[in-house]
Structure 1
Amino acid sequence: MGYYDKERVRGFLHNQDGIIVNDFGEEVILRGWGMGNWDNPEGFMLGTQSGFGLFEPGKYAPMGRMDRGRSMDQILRETCGTKYAEEFWKRWRRLYLTEEDIALLSRRGYNSVRLPIRAGSFLYEEPGITYNEDSFAMLNDVLDWCETYQVYAVVDFHAATAGQSGIPCDDGVDNGQHLYDDEESMERMFLLMEEFMRRYKDRWIIGAYDCINEPISMTPRREELTPKLVYFYEEMIRRCRKIDQKHLFLLNGTQFSSLTYFFDHEFDPEYHNWGISLHAYEMVVPEVASLASVLRICREQKICLWMGETGGRNEHAWQTTMYEILAEYHAGYNLWCWKTVEGAGCASILNFNVPDEWHLITDYAINGAAKPSYEHAQAIWDSYLECLAVDKCKENTQYHPYLLREGNFEIPAIGYNALPMDSHRGLSDLPNAAGYRLYDRFELVYEKGYHPEPAGFAAPGPIKHPRDHVQLQLGAGEYASYTIREKETYTVSVTYCADKEVKVQAAIQGETLFEGGMPPAGEKVTSDVHPYFAYETAPNTLERFTLGTVTGEGILKIEVLDGCARFGQIVIRKSEK
């Protein structure tokens, strides 16, 4: 299981028949966080607005007020003046992402960071080609920190020249995808990327280039523009390879980096050092079937896969299931987003609070209220900058155990390992009623008293969590396996219900942990509110049974020898020293 180890953060990364390896031939699976808001701010992470409500596919919409870096810059100039705005960005980028951020990310067990950048920060938007040396100096510092703390940096071209996505995160002037229609803008993007190749061709700490974020999203022109995106990728790699023959390229599909069908041929003919960057959030069902099409493409093209953007606030069951499936297929993940304003609504490790008078800026920008004086506005923005330091933020530590599978965490019983194929065995001759992981022949049943909405997993409105109410039923001869990465001593328990005594064998790494009878156990139906999602009920309460104590990581296998039981969770609790 060493593919996450910090000791493997050494040397350039390469695609090797669909697996990412370093210069020493060691497999590396990237797991980490994205540094959104740092060089490419977005309204919902600033404490203003998302801007997504403005955009209807096919209907023109200009950028919103304070929904992206470009409009944030405009508000800065209106409230504080041009000179202040120019200096502000230098301070913002150096205070939002600091050495302590990278050090903390590394200490928490992650081996990579995604660095979303906007083209306008590095290439001035004016006639001619003039690069912003301060931005490159800032990036150089970040790369140095990444080397110091053994963290691969994935440079993410999040906001291309002129806009490539049609949504606020591309920092465009509106909801158009002008990169593909404007020859000058596309050429400027090629030139910018060539400049990155010249400056960083020997920096192995750049694990990959992530190109380009969520292209051609929310538009009826997707079929029309996709061939232009294909051309962009092919020409980009052709030109970049004349300068840099070493770095890995990870290419995004269309429609929020989810449609990948056009990666059906070689995009890097000389070096074959490329792969796919897939985006998926909690709306995607966490099972192999959801990944089948992209996994098949990767297998056919012999290219690697990376889930370059993912997350979901408090979606711990989803995350620990989906990311383990990815690992089994040699794919890593990167969550959005490392640091955000409190209440942004996305997964985040660090949250900061805005200054008390921040509403004076947002009321002016969004609601047309009176503008604070220049001096007053500058003081408010200065106060905002003071909120960004790591020691001023609240750390959300609850994510780490589920993402890393270390410490105290639970694995849904239905979140069993997908591979190898003999790591699980179901014997049912009917598809399960829950409609989840149908190919595995397990009986997955809804808990007592729970009835899903007719639309099932695709119900409109707030995202529902029917899988939180699904139990894994195991009968004689059936078993499932679960990966645990805790390196110290811990206890393994299960929650379950059974009408009669059930005989069970549990083993970890082939060594018997428990073999014997588990007594009959009931199921307590609850009407309590879900601990994370206020609009639905909590799962039923099941009995808990301790299987034993273990030291060191391994794969836990649970098999029913006689009888039948329904399992809710695998519970891991680290032993106190």
Structure 2
Amino acid sequence: MDSMLSIIPKMGRKGNDMSKFNNEYVKGVLRTEGTRFVNEDGQEIILHGYGTANWMNVEGFMIGEPPVARDMFKYILFPGEGKDHNPTRWSTRRTVDLTIRELCGPKYLETFWDRWEENHLQEADIALMAELGYNCVRLVLNANALLYEEEGITFNEKCFKRLSNALDWCEKHKIYAILDMHGVVGGNNGATGDSLFCEFPSVFLDDESTERQIILWEEIVRRFHDRWIIAGYDLINEPVSSPIQHKYIPLLDQYYAECIERLRKIDPVHIMFIEPSKFARDPGFLTHPFDPDYNNWAISIHLYGASPEIKDLYPWLLKREEFNVPLWLGECGNNPDANGIFYEICAHYGIAYTPWAWKTADNGKFPVGSVGAPLPKDWDKICNFLTTGARPSYKESQRIMDEYIENLKLEHCTVNRDNARISAKHPSCTISGVGYDMWDEDGSRHYGTWELSNYLDFRLEDHTKLVWATDKRLPYPKFAWYDDPNELRYDPLTDLALELAENEFANYTVREVTKDCALTIEGIGEGEAEVLCNGATIGTIKWEKGDILNPAKSSVMTIAPTEEAVVKIRVIRGTITVKKLIFEM
């Protein structure tokens, strides 16, 4: 039906400014303005890019660590008090450091990290980010890379130079940079992405670690506060996360207060990003403004595998409204089809997003997320040593590590351009029938008239009729006290379809249609629908009732080149069930 409830008309679809999605608006110092990020001219920008995991701060499971059993990986994330918090030898910068010493010798280790960091992030990487349409990068730092672990304060000038070079590249290619202290002095969460000594957050527990960490931040800000390309400072990553650490959450609040107070004396301009406790997923931590004197701060959350609907954002949208500050998904990610739908919702609310992670090891077993660095051909010898095998000779170990370091250069890597394109809803791509736009052309919220739920409780607030569209058995209630070995995994984007009755409609948006794009719609029904693109009719659908497991295909329709194409399916007779839309360009 055409008369829908009209709420949240903040970003109407007509005349939508596409510049805020690319790097055209990367100019001047970024700041917050209410719940939005804006540039020096006050133009809103939707920050989106990637985090540079494994540059200064490595995590074993992304750089070729031998397979870890699921129950063991859970234990790494949630260690028990007094137990070995890091049972693998290739999991953090600290453990990799020790392993390189064992394999290749202390002299080789002297230059290992310099060579690793030089190759892992180069200008070619930043240039590729800009080419793929990104406008932001989360530069992942490790305190042990920038500040030597020894008595007194001695900074690693080579590492600071690499950071300065990265900022130069960001300025050249118009990519805002968020400086992310991923691994802090002494450790902050006990998990794999940490500089931990043990399973406890030493950065809060001993005065020396706390002071050294804040001194490091002061030095970073003192050196770079005049760099306009810096979007802001992500002060600590996923702090006090493991359950045994939760009693230290008040110390995190104290850390933020002292850190921000001291940094504001040097830099009153750039944004402070605040990650809550419990893997940056606890809205209850956010009880007060964190930058009261300057009110230039944002909430950073980590949200992996979010359902492509609004419900996973609810608690954060409430905090956003409570403090009138923007949200940033500092880490996130799902499959590209789900990302495209979810990021569309984020963009409506001005929410920034930087999926994890830009460059990881490509072991050939799993699809490369963004950029995959090939592992050395004899990597299995390293894995054997890390588990139960013999140690390769010094010479052989050095040869393997030399090959790995060379492979980190972008020129040797596999680039998954499809991931970036599909996540941005750029053709060629496929959109599920249940992945319809949440807002109509005039910016009003899209609602249907269906009063019941659906089998997967998906998009319930929309009141649209989502029907079963898979040969999987129907889900059934589970018992809380045992694991059901027959439980199935369901995906609403493939297991459901959208049923539209007469006079009902749904919209689907794609962007950057650079040439004629062929559109095919799959589904079933006994009815007829008009298909429009940006208000002009491009075809019709006439289907007979069929089998949703073997849906019918519409005739091929053509979408002319445009920055943004909004496809509307409007039922004019009977009922139409939409399984998916296929855009081919």
* TM-score normalized by the length of structure 1: 0.90
Q: Is 2:238 the partner of 1:236?
A: no
Q: 2:93 aligns with which of 46, 53, 69?
A: 69
Mapped partners of 2:354, 2:519: distance in 1: 29
Contact 1:417 1:423 in 2 (8 A): no
Q: What secondary structure does 2:444 align onto?
A: helix
| In structure 2, distance between residues paired with 1:560 and 1:234 | 56
Show CA shifts across 1:252-289 (max 9, x none): 1222211122223211011111111111112x322111
Aligned-residue offset at 1:463: 5.6
Structure 1 residue 384, shift from structure 2 partner = 1.2
Corresponding residue number in structure 1 for 2:281: 258
Number of the residue aligned with 1:108: 132
Gaps of 5+ in 2: 1-17
Q: Map of 1:513-552 to 2, 5 A cutoff?
A: 513-514=537-538, 516-520=540-544, 522-523=546-547, 525=549, 541-552=551-562
More moved, 341-350 vs 320-329 = 341-350
CA shift, 1:547, in A, is: 4.1
- Separation (CA, whole Å) in 1 of partners of 2:356 and 2:196: 20
1:378 and 1:543 mapped to 2: Cα distance? 57
Q: Which runs of structure 2 are paired with 1:30-109 in the superposition (5 Å)? A: 30-49=47-66, 52-55=73-76, 56-59=78-81, 60-63=83-86, 64-109=88-133
3-state SS of paired residue (2:556): strand
- Describe how 1:167-206 pairs up with structure 2 within 5 A: 167-206=191-230
Q: Displacement of 1:427 after TM fit?
A: 1.1
Distance 1:214 1:546 in 2: 48
> Deviations for 1:368-408, whole angstroms, at most 9, x for unmatched residues?
x3322322221221111121121211122221221222230
For residues 291 and 19 of structure 2, the distance between their equivalents in structure 1, rounded to whole angstroms, comes to 29
**Greater relative contact order (CA < 8 Å, ≥ 6 in sequence):** 2
Letter in 1 for 2:172: T
Cα distance in structure 2, aligned partners of 1:46 and 1:499: 49
Q: State which of 457, 464, 469 in structure 2 corresponds to 1:442.
A: 464
Could you tell me how far apart the structure 2 residues matched to 1:318 and 1:150 are?
A: 27
Question: Structure 2: which amino acid aligns with 1:296?
Answer: L
Pair 437,340 (structure 1): closer, same or farther in 2 beyond 3 Å: same
Q: Does 1:491 align with 2:517?
A: yes
1:377 aligns with 2:400: no
Q: 2:523, 2:580 within 8 Å by CA — same for their partners in 1?
A: no
SS of equivalent residue, structure 1 residue 153: strand
Per-residue deviation at 1:292? 0.7
Check the 8 A contact 2:231/2:270 in 1, yes or no: yes
Judged with a 3 Å threshold, the aligned counterparts in structure 2 of structure 1 residues 375 and 323 are, in CA distance, closer, same or farther, namely: same
From 368, 373, 377, the equivalent of 1:356 is 377
CA–CA separation in structure 2 for the residues paired with 1:229 and 1:76: 33
Q: Is the 2:188–2:195 contact (alpha carbons within 8 Å) kept by the matching residues of 1?
A: no
Tell me if structure 1 keeps the 8 A contact 2:529–2:576.
no
Aligned runs of 1:375-454 on 2, under 5 Å?
Answer: 375-419=395-439, 422-447=444-469, 449-454=471-476
- 1:302: how far off? 0.7
Q: What one-letter code is carried by the residue in structure 2 that aligns with 1:514?
A: I
In the alignment, is the contact (CA less than 8 A) between 1:494 and 1:568 conserved in 2? no
Q: Distance in 2 between matches of 1:463 and 1:92?
A: 39
DSSP-derived class of the 1:221 partner: helix
C-alpha contact (below 8 Å) 1:492/1:570 kept by paired residues: no
- Cα 1:122–1:87, aligned 2, differ >3 Å: closer, same or farther? same
The whole-number CA distance in structure 2 between the counterparts of 1:464 and 1:114 is: 32
For structure 1, which segment, 112-121 or 431-440, has the greater mean C-alpha deviation from structure 2 after superposition?
Answer: 431-440
> Which of 495, 498, 504 matches 2:530?
504
Aligned to 1:532: none
Q: Indicate if the aligned counterparts of 1:494 and 1:571 stay in contact, CA closer than 8 A.
A: yes
1:512 deviation in Å?
1.8
Letter in 2 for 1:240: L
Q: Quote the Cα distance in structure 2 between the aligned partners of 1:16 and 1:253.
A: 21
Aligned residue in 2 for 1:272: 295
Question: Residue 497 of structure 2: SS of its match in structure 1?
Answer: strand
Query: In 2, distance between residues paired with 1:462 and 1:206?
Result: 45
CA contact 1:496–1:565 (8 Å) conserved in 2: no
Q: Distance in 1 between matches of 2:191 and 2:131?
A: 34
Structure 1: distance between partners of 2:44 and 2:289: 22
Whole-angstrom CA distance in 2 between matches of 1:53 and 1:266: 33
Question: For each residue in 1:72-94, what CA deviation from the matched residue of structure 2 results, as whole angstroms up to 9, or x when unmatched?
Answer: 11011112222211211111100
Tell me the distance in 1 between the aligned counterparts of 2:228 and 2:149.
Answer: 29
Deviations 1:507-562 (A, max 9, x none): 41xx223364523263363xxxxxxxxxxxxxx55524434322211433332232
Name the aligned partner's letter for residue 291 of structure 2.
D
Kindly report which structure 2 residues correspond to 1:291-302, keeping only aligned pairs within 5 A, or say none: 291-302=313-324
Alignment partner of 1:168: what SS? coil
Partner residue in 1 for 2:495: 469
Specify the alignment match of 2:156 in structure 1. Answer: 132
Equivalent residue for 2:5? none
After superposing the two structures, state which structure 1 stretch, 273-282 or 349-358, moved more: 349-358
Take 1:417 and 1:346, find their aligned partners in 2: how far apart are those partners?
28
Contact 1:316 1:399 survives alignment (8 Å)? yes
Give 1:20's aligned amino acid: F
Please report how far the alpha carbon of residue 19 of structure 1 lies from its aligned counterpart in structure 2 after TM superposition. Answer: 0.1
Across the aligned residues of Structure 1 and Structure 2, the Cα RMSD in angstroms comes to 2.3
TM-superposed CA distance for 1:11, in Å, is 1.0
Question: What is the aligned partner in structure 2 of residue 289 from structure 1?
Answer: 311
Shift of 1:17: 0.4
Is the contact made by 2:503 and 2:570 (CA closer than 8 Å) also made in structure 1?
A: yes
Cα 1:292–1:156, aligned 2, differ >3 Å: closer, same or farther?
A: same
Q: Is the 8 A contact 1:507 1:557 kept in 2?
A: yes
Indicate how the Cα distance of structure 1 residues 455 and 146 shifts in structure 2: closer, same or farther if over 3 A, else same.
farther
- Unaligned runs of 5+ residues in structure 1 are 526-539
Give CA-to-partner distance per residue, 1:151-182, whole Å, 9 cap, x none: 11111111111111120111313332222222
C-alpha distance in structure 1 between counterparts of 2:456 and 2:111, whole Å: 56
State the 1:57 CA deviation: 4.1
Partners of 2:561 and 2:165 in 1: how far apart? 39
The answer (yes or no) to whether the contact 2:517–2:583 under 8 Å persists in 1 is yes
1:321 correspondence with 2:341: yes
Q: Residue 99 of structure 1 contacts residue 145 of structure 1 at CA under 8 Å; is this kept in 2?
A: yes
**Structure 2 residue matching 1:495: 3-state secondary structure:** strand
Partner Cα distance (2:110, 2:547) in 1? 62
CA distance in 2, matches of 1:524, 1:562: 19
Task: Give the letter aligned to residue 39 of structure 1.
Answer: M
Query: How many Å apart are 1:247 and its aligned residue?
Result: 0.9
Distance 1:427 1:209 in 2: 45
> Could you report, residue by residue, the CA deviation over 1:452-488 in whole angstroms, capped at 9, with x for unpaired residues?
44369x9988964243211011112322222321242
